[in-house]
Structure formats: structure tokens, C-alpha cells
């Protein structure tokens, strides 16, 4: 069937739509435009409606493909806030110090804080990165103390114990990489026995390290594995000597080098100069690019029994050791508590000479940069005061070990806890120390191992520390040393004269003790702000001891003055006054108050710092009464009668000569003590 052409009018309505033959639709032009517009807008609306759904779906797909990271942090929402009623006097992080605690901190000071990071690199499969060579040292506005620290005051009863511990340190270093150990020996005569002990122990050291071997009979060159552990030997006294031409693994060569250490009788020990030489010679072994073979760990081990005479090079030596990451170990001696020197028991090493023990003064202290203990009593007579172990080694060498990550071993063969070590028990060439203290207890009382500038800064920040250091640096103050306590009244004039003479000693002490008490008084108001147990124990002990001596001296003087004014005897027969110590202070309210303060401080030290030198000295001081009392007695003033001494008044005959000494014959010659 064909479709006939139909002429449509210019305008059309619904009636204009005509169905042609067999159901065909015919639409005019206007209707076509309307339909096109209608369909277009419907599609546009649908497209706009679908767009958010498509975007949301795509975002969810991306989120599902990411790796989720879980955080366990708990967030608390603050509901209310209120201002503090009392404003803090200090500012900074946690308000525990000053504003410096909120500043950037790093091992090196710089105006701009910077923490360098490695440059980004493209990922490489199975790659190994050496971060130590990529990240440089951070710098900041303030110096950080959070660096690797060593150990000090590790006590042993003998050299063997220290060497065994060092052996484990060498083994730990060898587990990381090849290692070089440099031994530095003091040439003092007092170290001769200790050097011999170490030399004889080298076989065991190398055996324990698993590298002891017999010399190869073949002429093949040694492999790198044969030299996994190298050793060098240096000696020092007034001069420094390199005893091995180059580091070696030959055990015989090492023993021969130790045997070549000669005695130096100058009494000078340049230990820091020796370590500086070792740094200059062997720091290149820390790197593999210097032609000395593979990169190595390097350890310095110094053996000495003194503090060293060249500590002016301490800071520079410490900085160089830290930059090269070389720890220093010292097999040394304990430092006497609060003293610069002690006495060593010297026995002539040659049996042909007199073997009678002698006591030689040796510089082995103090344990801190400056003595932090008031020198009171026993002026110019250190034999009368028991020497105490400080729990640590001499300051300079201990700081060297602490700053470089090493260990300071305090070796003493007669170390005993809980009792006094008598002079007769001291081994030859050991220092005279009467009391030792548990190192676990003493850990809390470690000295400040910092530079002179940093130490001064810490002291200036605290009036309490300023007072203690100022009082400690004064010369030793006298005390009542064996005061006259018995006064016989032959007549009034003679009694007054003897009392006046006795008062002169107390009068001479008054200005010294008053001056010490005045200096320490400046720190009393800051006791509650001191958080260091070492500084607090030192200050309380100093203040308590000074006040105790002051009260005794002034009380002694007041009691003599009271007797000069006249005191009647209870029994007419008596003619003698004896001044005896008493717990009660009976002269003046001022002395009573100072006496109570002294007792309270000393009790605090004894109770709160038990098991330490401060606690022991405080307990000893508490046993001595602060007051005085008069006790009357009778003295026979009749002249001696003939024969009253016995033997009919004749002189007592000289005792018989020692027959045993006569049998021994002439004594061996005695040599003077060399400088140690």
C-alpha cells in the first residue's frame, strides 16, 4: 500500500493528526519540535540526578581499595575550662624548668633548628640503605642530654672482674663488625702488678673471644678473617709511647708490647694525651675508605690508678671520641669521697729491700668537678678521718667513659660492704678506704658529668648549690681538737687563768664556723626546690655538721665563761672541774635553736640517705653530744713523796733489748717511696 501525500495546514491541533491507511501516524512540524524538546529536557534532568550517585560510587570504590591505618589514641573532649587561680612562676614545657625546655634540643647548638632527612629516592627492590651515612647530625637552639651514656662506678674486687666484663664488651663489638682494641697502660710503679695480671689474662681473653690460634706453619698470607680482632698497645707517664708499630693479631707481639712498658717515676700521668694520640693514629679504622681494610669498631681501654695530670684536654678528647663513635673503658680506682687525694699502701717491689709497708699520697679524687663537701675538722691531719669510697671514679676519667658510652671500673681488692676495712687488711698498692657502699644505692647520687661551663650554669641556677660549692672551696676549718676539759682549782687566780687560756682555742674557731654557717644559710630557703638527691644530701650534711661544730665550740666557750664567774662545789673536799659532753644545751636559747636545727638536718640525712657516705657521716655526727656539763672531782695536790713511784725512788731501768730482732741480724735497706 502506498502512502499518499497530504497537504497539512500551517497550524495544527490534536484534530489535525490523521491516521492514514493501516495505522500510520502523521505529525506536523510543530508537534515534532515539541516532542524533541520534551525528550531532551527529560534526559537532561535524569543526567543531573544520576551524577551524584556516580561520584559517590566512584569515591567508595577508591576508599575500599586503600589500606586502612588503625590508631589507638583516645581523644577526650573538654566540656568545661576554667583559668588557674595561682599563676605558675615558671614557664616552659610542663613548667618543670624554664623556657629552655620548650626550645628545640639537639647535640649541637645552632640558631636555626634543623633535623636533616635523606633525599627521596626511587624504590628499589631488595635494596639496603645505610641511614647513618644519609642523616646528618641534628642541630637546635639548646643542647640535648638525650645521647648515649656510659656507666661509671662499676665496682670490682680485682682486675680480673673488670677484664672479664671488658671481654664481653669486645665480643659484642665483634658481633657487629671487625674490631680494633687499643690498650693504654699507666707506667706508674703502683700499676706494675695490675699490668702483669692483664698480660697473663690475655690468653684467656682471646680464647673466650674464639680467635686464639696457633701460628700457621704455611707461608700463606693471613686472610681477612685472621685479623678480625686487632690490638694496639700504648703506654703513658710523663710521655706517651706507641708500643706496637701497627695493630696486630699476633698474641706474642701483644704480650711483648705489654712487657715493654717501663716504669716512670716522675709521678705524672698524661692519660688524656695518650687517648688523643690513640685517636690520631686509629680513628681512620672506623671507615672502610681509608685503606686500613674493612670498617671496624674501635675500643679504647685505659688502665690507671690516678685521676690524670692533663685534664685540660678532657673536653676536646671527649668531643673527638664521640664524633668517631669510640667508647673509652677505664680500669681505675675508686675516688675518695669529697677529697682530692688518699694514701696508697706501698711495699717495695724488690724483695732485697725493706718490705715494711709505707703510705704514699696519691691524687685519686674527687668524684665531682669541684669538691661538694665542706672541709671541716681534722685540719692538716687526714689520718684521723676515715676515708670513704665515693661510689664513683675520679671526675675526669669517669666523665670520659660516661660521655663516650664506655664503662669506668672502680677496682679495689679489699671491697667490703657493711663493715670497716682496717689498715692491716689493705693489699699492697691499694688505696686506703675504710668504707665502701653498694653501687645500686649510689646510682641515684651520680655526679654531674658535664663541662665546666655547664656545671657553672647548673650551680648558678640554684642558690643552694652556690652556697654548698662556695663553702666547699674554702680551706679546711678547725674544730675543737682535744680541748682542755679538766681544770684544777689551786686558787681562784690560777683557775681563771687556765680557763682563759682554754677559751682562746674556741675564740679562734668562732669566725671560721660563723663564716661557713653564714654562707650556707643563703641556700636554706631553696631546700624544697632542690630535686637532686646528691645536692640535697650534700647541703643538709654540710649545714648540719657546721652548725653542730659551731654549737659545740660556742657552748664550750660559754661554759668556761660561766666557770670564770664562779661555781661552788657541792662537796667541800672537791677542787677540780671536768667539762664533759652532754646532750642538753644549757647555755643560751640561740645555741639551743641552732642545735635543734643541726639535729633535724643530720637525722634527715641519716634516714633519707642511708647506705651512702652522707648518711654514714651524719650518723657519726649524731653520736657526738652538742652540749656540755660540769662535773666536780678531787685532785690530790700533795707533793710527791720519796719512793712514791716504787723502786725506792730510783729510775725505772730500760727494758731489755728484743732478742728476736738480734736473731734476725741486720735489717734490709729501706728505699724512699718513689713518686706514684
Query: What does the block give as the cell for 423?
Result: 689498715
From residue 163, alpha-carbon distances to 73, 170, 202, 254, 462 in Å are 48, 10, 9, 16, 41
Backbone angles phi, psi at 102, to 5 degrees: -95, 0
What is the Cα–Cα distance from 547 to 517, expressed in whole angstroms? 7
pLDDT at 158: 79
pLDDT score, position 415? 92
- What's the pLDDT at 105? 52
**In this structure, which topology does domain 151-211+227-455 adopt according to CATH?**
Rossmann fold (3.40.50)
Q: pLDDT tens digit string along 300-349?
A: 999 998 898 888 889 999 999 999 999 999 999 999 999 998 899 988 88
Query: Is the four-CA dihedral 306, 312, 317, 318 of positive or negative sign?
Result: positive
Residue 390 confidence (pLDDT): 94
332: nearest Cα among 431, 418, 420? 431
Q: Taking each helix axis from N to C terminus, what angle separates 613-622 and 589-608, rounded to the nearest 10 degrees?
A: 140
Q: Rounded distance, CA 374 to CA 523, Å?
A: 14
* Domain ranges for the chain: 151-211+227-455, 462-633
d(CA 571, CA 556): 24
DSSP 485-548: -EEE-SSHHHHHHHHHHHHHHHHHHHHHHHHHHHHHHTTGGGGGG---HHHHHHHHHHHHHHHH
Antiparallel, parallel or unpaired: β 358-363 and 341-346? antiparallel
Q: How far apart are the C-alpha atoms of 402 and 367, rounded to whole Å?
A: 13
Give which of 472, 469, 450 is closest to 459, Cα–Cα.
Answer: 469
- Grid cell, residue 7, equals 497537504
**Residue 205: closest CA among 242, 257, 165, 176:** 165
| Cα 616 to the center of its chain, rounded Å | 21
Chain segment 245-291, per-residue pLDDT in tens: 899 988 889 989 999 999 888 889 999 999 999 999 999 998 877 77
Contacts of residues 208-215 at CB distance under 8 Å and 24 or more positions apart, as own/partner, are 208/167, 208/171, 209/167, 209/170, 209/171, 209/174, 211/249, 212/251
Residue 618 to residue 605: CA distance in whole angstroms: 6
Measured CA angle at 596 (ends 594, 602), to 5 deg: 100
Q: Quote the Cα angle for 126-132-138, to 5°.
A: 135
pLDDT score recorded for residue 589: 85
Q: Look at residue 152 in the predicted model and tell me its pLDDT.
A: 82
The predicted structure's pLDDT at residue 145: 44
* Distance between CA atoms of residues 629 and 435, nearest Å: 33
Q: How many residues does the chain have?
A: 676
- Report how far residue 22's alpha carbon sits from residue 43's, in angstroms, rounded to the nearest whole number: 32
> How far is the C-alpha of 559 from the C-alpha of 579, rounded, in Å?
8
Residue 25 in grid coordinates: 501516524
The phi, psi pair for 500, rounded to 5°, reads -65, -40
pLDDT confidence of residue 653? 57
Helix/strand/coil (H, E, C) string of 59-121?
HHHHHHHCCCCCCCCCCCCCCCCCCCCCCCCCCCHHHCCCHHHHCCEECEECCCCECCCCCCC
Report, as ranges of residue numbers, the positions in the chain whose pLDDT lies below 50. Answer: 1-26, 53-69, 71, 73, 75-82, 84, 87-102, 117-122, 124, 127-139, 141-147, 212-224, 379-380, 382-383, 649, 664
What is the pLDDT, as a whole number, of residue 480? Answer: 82
C-alpha distance from residue 247 to each of 202, 278, 334 (Å): 16, 11, 31
Amino acid at each position: 500500500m502506498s502512502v499518499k501525500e497530504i497537504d497539512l495546514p500551517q497550524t495544527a491541533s490534536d484534530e489535525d493528526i490523521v491516521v492514514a491507511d493501516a495505522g500510520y501516524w502523521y505529525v506536523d512540524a510543530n508537534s515534532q519540535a515539541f516532542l524533541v524538546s520534551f525528550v531532551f529536557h527529560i534526559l537532561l534532568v535524569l543526567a543531573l540526578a544520576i551524577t551524584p550517585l556516580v561520584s559517590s560510587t566512584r569515591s567508595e570504590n577508591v576508599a575500599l581499595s586503600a589500606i586502612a591505618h588503625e590508631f589507638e589514641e583516645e581523644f577526650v573532649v573538654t566540656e568545661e575550662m576554667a583559668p588557674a587561680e595561682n599563676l605558675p612562676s615558671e614557664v616552659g614545657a610542663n613548667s618543670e624548668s624554664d623556657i629552655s625546655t620548650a626550645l628545640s634540643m639537639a647535640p649541637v647548638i645552632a640558631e636555626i633548628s634543623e633535623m636533616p632527612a635523606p633525599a627521596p629516592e626511587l624504590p628499589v627492590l631488595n635494596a639496603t640503605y645505610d641511614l647513618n651515612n644519609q642523616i646528618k647530625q641534628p642541630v637546635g637552639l639548646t643542647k640535648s642530654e638525650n645521647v648515649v651514656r656510659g656507666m661509671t662506678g662499676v665496682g670490682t674486687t680485682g682486675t680480673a672482674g673488670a677484664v672479664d666484663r671488658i671481654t664481653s664488651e669486645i665480643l659484642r663489638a665483634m658481633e657487629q663488625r671487625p674490631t680494633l682494641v687499643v690498650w693504654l697502660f699507666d707506667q706508674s710503679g703502683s700499676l706494675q702488678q695490675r699490668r702483669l695480671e692483664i698480660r697473663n689474662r690475655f690468653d684467656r681473653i682471646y680464647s673466650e673471644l674464639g680467635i686464639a690460634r696457633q701460628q700457621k706453619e704455611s707461608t700463606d698470607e693471613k686472610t681477612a678473617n685472621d685479623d678480625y680482632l686487632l690490638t694496639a698497645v700504648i703506654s703513658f707517664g710523663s710521655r706517651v709511647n706507641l708500643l706496637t708499630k701497627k695493630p696486630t693479631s699476633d698474641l706474642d707481639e701483644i704480650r711483648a708490647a705489654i712487657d715493654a712498658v717501663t716504669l716512670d717515676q716522675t709521678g705524672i700521668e698524661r692519660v688524656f694525651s695518650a687517648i688523643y694520640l690513640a685517636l690520631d693514629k686509629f680513628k681512620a679504622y672506623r671507615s672502610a675508605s681509608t685503606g686500613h681494610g674493612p670498617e671496624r669498631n674501635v675500643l679504647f681501654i685505659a688502665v690507671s690508678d690516678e685521676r690524670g695530670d692533663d685534664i685540660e684536654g678532657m673536653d676536646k678528647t671527649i668531643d673527638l671520641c664521640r664524633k668517631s663513635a669510640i667508647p673509652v673503658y677505664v680500669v681505675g680506682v675508686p675516688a675518695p669521697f669529697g677529697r682530692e687525694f688518699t694514701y696508697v699502701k706501698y711495699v717495695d717491689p724488690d724483695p732485697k729491700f725493706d718490705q715494711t709497708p709505707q703510705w704514699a699520697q696519691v691524687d685519686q679524687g674527687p668524684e665531682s668537678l669541684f669538691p661538694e663537701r665542706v672541709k671541716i675538722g681534722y685540719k692538716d691531719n687526714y689520718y684521723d678521718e676515715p676515708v670513704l669510697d665515693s661510689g664513683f671514679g675520679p671526675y675526669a676519667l669517669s666523665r670520659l667513659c660516661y660521655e663516650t658510652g664506655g664503662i669506668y671500673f672502680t677496682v679495689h681488692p679489699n671491697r667490703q660492704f657493711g663493715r670497716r676495712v682496717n689498715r692491716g687488711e689493705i693489699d699492697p698498692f691499694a688505696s686506703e678506704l675504710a668504707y665502701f657502699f653498694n653501687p645500686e644505692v649510689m646510682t641515684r647520687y651520680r655526679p654531674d658529668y658535664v663541662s665546666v661551663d655547664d656545671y657553672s650554669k647548673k650551680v648558678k641556677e640554684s642558690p643552694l648549690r652556690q652556697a654548698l660549692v662556695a663553702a666547699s672551696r674554702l680551706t679546711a676549718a678547725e674544730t675543737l681538737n682535744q680541748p682542755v676539759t679538766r681544770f684544777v682549782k689551786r686558787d681562784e687566780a690560777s683557775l681563771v687563768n687556765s680557763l682563759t687560756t682554754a677559751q682562746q682555742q674556741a675564740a679562734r674557731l668562732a669566725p671560721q664556723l660563723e663564716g661557713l654557717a653564714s654562707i650556707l644559710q643563703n641556700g636554706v630557703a631553696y631546700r624544697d626546690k632542690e630535686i637532686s638527691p646528691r645536692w640535697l644530701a650534700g647541703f643538709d650534711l654540710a649545714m648540719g655538721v657546721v652548725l653542730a661544730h659551731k654549737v659545740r665550740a660556742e657552748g664550750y666557750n660559754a661554759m668556761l665563761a660561766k666557770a670564770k664567774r664562779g661555781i661552788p662545789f657541792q662537796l667541800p673536799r672537791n677542787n677540780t672541774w671536768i667539762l664533759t659532753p652532754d646532750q642538753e644545751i644549757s647555755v643560751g636559747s640561740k645555741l639551743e635553736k641552732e642545735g635543734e636545727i643541726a639535729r633535724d638536718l643530720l637525722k634527715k640525712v641519716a634516714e633519707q640517705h642511708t647506705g651512702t657516705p652522707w648518711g654514714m657521716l651524719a650518723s657519726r655526727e649524731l653520736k657526738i653530744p652538742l652540749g656540755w656539763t660540769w662535773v666536780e672531782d678531787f685532785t690530790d695536790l700533795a707533793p710527791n713523796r720519796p719512793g712514791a713511784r716504787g723502786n725506792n725512788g730510783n729510775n725505772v731501768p730500760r727494758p731489755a733489748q728484743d732478742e728476736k730482732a738480734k736473731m734476725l741480724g741486720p735489717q734490709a735497706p729501706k728505699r724512699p717511696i718513689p713518686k706514684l
